[in-house]
Chains A and B, each alone.
Chain A
Amino acid sequence: MRLKISKHVLGIVGSPRRQGNTDLLVEEILRGVKDAGGTTSKVLLDVMDIRPCKGCFACEKTGVCVQNDDMAELIEQMKASQVWVLGTPIYWWGPSAQIKAFIDRWVSISREHFRGKRVVLAIPMGGGAESYARHTVGMFRDIFDYLGIQHIATVLAPGFGRKGEVKTAHSIMEEARQAGKKATA
C-alpha cells in the first residue's frame, strides 16, 4: 500500500477588500483543494505588516531580510506549503500594491524554496475583458519561469468590480473549484 501524503495549499489574498472578489475566488479554489483531500490555510496580506523592499540587498549577504515584520512568518508558511494560490485584483492593468510588496520581498528567499512549487493565480477585474489582466499575468509568468515555479492554472474573472459579485458567476466559481482540485492532484 502506498501512503499518499496530502498537500497543503496556502491562499494569499492581495486585495484590500475582505470577502471581495479576490478573497472569494481564493476561497473557492481552496474548497476545491479540500475536495481533493488537501489541507488549506489563507492569509490576507492587507491586514499583515509587510513593508516594501528597501533595496538594501542585505539579504544577499546574510540570507535574511533586515526588516522585522510579518514576512518572516509568511515565508515559513510558504515553505510548508506545496501549492500557493496567489490572488490579486487588477489595478491599473497591474497587481495591487499589497501583493507587489509581498512579491518584492521574495528577493530574500533562497531559490530552492521556489523550485517545483505549484501556483494557481486568481485574478478578478472590473474591466470587462480578460485582456485587462494581460500585463499582470505576463509579469507572473516571467517570475514563475525564472524561479522554476509550476504554473498550474489561472482563474480570471473579468467584469467584476463590485464587492463580492463574482459569487453569482457560477461558471467562474466552478472553474476556481476545479483549479483547486487540479493543483492538489
Chain B
Amino acid sequence: MIKSQRVIGFVGSPRRNGNTEILVDEVLAGAQEVGAQVEKIQLTHLNIGPCRGCGSCKRTGKCAQDDDMAVLLEKMTESHVWVFGTPLYWWGPTAQFKAFMDRWYSAEGSMFQGQRVILVIPFAAGSASEGIRHIVGMFETSLGKRNIFATVLAPGVYSLGAVRRHTEVLERARQTGRDVIQISS
C-alpha cells in the first residue's frame, strides 16, 4: 500500500476566512480528494517571535526562542508538500508570514531539499503584473525555483472573501492541490 502524502498549508493572512485562507483551503481540498493527508496552520493565531539574529541556532542546532515555531518545523519536516499562503502587503509577504519565514534559519538545510512548494498569493491589483515580482523572487531564491511546484495568483481581490466570486481561480487552486499529489508522486 502506498503511504499517503502529507500536505501542510500555512495561512499568513491575519484575516479569518479571507482570500488567502479560502485559496489555501482549496489547494488542501484538492490534495485530500486524491488521497493526501492535509493540515492547515493559521500563523496569526500562533506565537512566533521574530528571529533575534543571535546566531545561537548555528551553534546549538535549535532556536533560543521557546514558542510555537519548534512544532511547525517538525510538521514541515514530516510533510511532503508545503502550501505557503500570504496576501501581498506593500509588495511583500505579510509581517506574520515573514516572521515565520525568518525562523526557518534554525532549520537544517536538508529540510528544504527536494521539498515541493505551492505558493498562494492573493492581491488587490487587477493583473498579475509587475507587482508580485519581488515577493515571488524572495520565495524562488529562498526555496529554489525548481522546488516551487506551482504559484496560485489571485489578482483583483481585496475585500474579505472576494475570491469566492472568482471561480476559475478557486478551481485552479483545487486542481493544483490534486496535481501536486498525482503528478509528482
Contacts and interface: CB of A to CB of B under 8 A. Distances in A.
Contact of B14 (A55, A95, A98, A139): A55
Contact of B53 (A55, A89, A101): A89
A52 B94 contact: yes
Contacts of B149: none
A161 to B, nearest CB: 9
A52 B90 contact: no
Nearest to A98: B50
Interface stretch (B74-82, B129-137, B169-177): B129-137
Interface stretch (B1-9, B26-34, B99-107, B113-121): B99-107
Nearest to B103: A97
A52 B138 contact: no
Contacts, number: 109
B98 interface: yes
B104 A100 contact: no
A53 B15 CA distance: 10
A96 B103 CA distance: 11
B142 interface: yes
A178 interface: no
B92 A94 contact: yes
A104 B138 contact: no
A143 interface: yes
A113 interface: no
Interface of A: 15-17, 20, 46, 52-56, 89, 91-98, 100-101, 103-104, 106-107, 134-136, 138-139, 142-143, 163
